[in-house]
Structure 1
Amino acid sequence: MTVAALSLPPSAGRIKRILHFPLTRILLGILVTVLPVALTFAIVQGTVEKSMRIVWPYLLAATLCILAYSIYIRLLEKRKVIELSLPGAAKELGNGLLLGAALLSVTMGTLALLGVYKVSGSNPWTVILIPLAEQVMVGFFEEILFRGVIFRISEQSLGSRIALILSGLVFALAHLPNAGVTPLAIGVTFAAGILLTAAYMLTRRLWLAIGLHIGWNYFLGDIFSIAVSGHESKGLLQATLTGPQWLTGGQYGVEASVVSLAFISALSIYLLRAAQRRGNFMLPYWKKHGIA
């Protein structure tokens, strides 16, 4: 990882130093990540009939988000976008998808054994096709934003541990407007932010985290038919969650359940330890360079 933003020579001009200041880079990164997605949906909704707005707007938004982030990295940080490089991407993305699906399936299986998740039937298999594009867009957009921009840049100055907590808090607080949010929901979402960051830290690339994010969301909403962070979903299974809110998650969904908290936290610890064994934790800039 480069720390050019923190190590410019004294001769560097004021504008250049401002542009390379970590907070400036984070704000610019947020702008270039959010703007393509927001503009895509604003333009599409204003110019295209609803019946024609199926699948492609999500894929277009995801593509533009990736392109904007790549241009931002090459122009401002002047380096290759190694976190989204293609060699090995399919394997890491696939592993992430499997890990997210497995984690969610274990969570739902536990809730079924506890008697709070009950399946009564199924919907036509075609209901699982169209929502996949939306989950792909969400996975790419949120991982580029929260891990590629907020965590990665803050880590270069604050170190892995502080940046891990900070980015997890930002990720959790971003879900405050969602329906049915509770303190437990924020706690589980914070843990999910830690898990996704741990996936990035393990590989120092975004593909595993993107796959994990997509796998969890897709199976939760489009297979098990449970609300995803407060957003109602109709998936393959006809099912209900009944029981105390601390167990079912209430309107927010199982991402506000203590069962999810337990499994997500356990996997987070495992991935963080694996990342540490690989030497992928960074010291704060001041410690790395012996600054008092």
Structure 2
Amino acid sequence: MFGALHAANPGATVVSVLGVSLAGVWLALGYVLTGELAIPIGAHVSWNFFLGPIYGFPVSGNRVSPSLVRVQEIGPDVLTGGRSAPRPAWSGSRPCSSGASPSSATSRRATGGSRSPPR
């Protein structure tokens, strides 16, 4: 669902939608493990804030300027994300997937197991 909502972003490709879908799983994990919607909302806002206004990367395919740091992406789109930003590329997918295990372990240790969202 998260990937589908980002499919209309400027410069979106099949690879970028798959990468954004992976980010959606990572964000959903924050909610599923804690039952707190603030976790994925905070992670998403923080990611977009640091990606655009701080580091100068495009946010959802849109350039944000000015930024604190000027960045020029060099390399193939599959590594840099091209016009879509690093999140849907290998460089953005890797932090999402590698951050899921420690997040899950920390949550389970703190709550004594996986917590289901309230109904």
> Does the 8 Å CA contact 1:201/1:275 hold for their aligned counterparts?
no
Q: Which residue of 2 aligns with 1:279?
A: 114
Q: Over residues 236-255 of structure 1, what are the superposed CA-to-partner deviations in whole Å (9 max), with x where a residue is unaligned?
A: 11221111111111111112
Q: Which residue of 2 aligns with 1:258?
A: 90
> Does the 8 Å CA contact 2:26/2:96 hold for their aligned counterparts?
yes
1:173: Cα distance to partner? 0.5
Q: Residue type of the partner of 1:171?
A: F
Aligned: 1:220 with 2:51: yes
> Does the 8 Å CA contact 2:16/2:81 hold for their aligned counterparts?
yes
Say how many residue pairs are matched.
Answer: 113
> Does the 8 Å CA contact 1:250/1:256 hold for their aligned counterparts?
no
Q: Which has the higher helix share?
A: 1
Rg larger in 1 or in 2?
A: 1
> Does the 8 Å CA contact 2:60/2:84 hold for their aligned counterparts?
yes
Q: Which residue of 2 aligns with 1:210?
A: 41
Q: Which residue of 1 aligns with 2:102?
A: 270
Q: Over residues 72-125 of structure 1, what are the superposed CA-to-partner deviations in whole Å (9 max), with x where a residue is unaligned?
A: xxxxxxxxxxxxxxxxxxxxxxxxxxxxxxxxxxxxxxxxxxxxxxxxxxxxxx
For structure 2, the 5+ residue unaligned runs are none
- More RCO (CA 8 Å, sep 6+): 2
* Residue in structure 1 matching 2:26, options 175, 195, 205: 195
Secondary structure of 1:271's counterpart equals helix
Q: Residue type of the partner of 1:204?
A: G
1 CA distance for matches of 2:71 and 2:93?
21
Aligned: 1:230 with 2:61: yes
Q: Residue type of the partner of 2:10?
A: A
1:181: Cα distance to partner? 0.9
1:178: Cα distance to partner? 0.6
Q: Residue type of the partner of 2:84?
A: Y
1:192: Cα distance to partner? 1.0
Q: Residue type of the partner of 2:80?
A: T
> Does the 8 Å CA contact 1:181/1:230 hold for their aligned counterparts?
yes
Secondary structure of 2:98's counterpart equals helix
TM-score, length-scaled by structure 1: 0.36
1:187: Cα distance to partner? 1.5
> Does the 8 Å CA contact 2:10/2:62 hold for their aligned counterparts?
yes
Question: Counterparts of 1:112-127 in structure 2 under 5 Å?
Answer: none
Q: Which runs of structure 1 show a deviation greater than 6 angstroms over 4 or more consecutive aligned residues?
A: none
1:279: Cα distance to partner? 3.0
What root-mean-square deviation, in Å, do the aligned CA atoms of Structure 1 and Structure 2 show? Answer: 1.8
1 CA distance for matches of 2:96 and 2:62?
20
1:275: Cα distance to partner? 4.7
Secondary structure of 2:70's counterpart equals strand
2 CA distance for matches of 1:229 and 1:207?
21
Q: Residue type of the partner of 1:245?
A: D
Q: Residue type of the partner of 1:239?
A: V
Q: Which residue of 2 aligns with 1:243?
A: 75
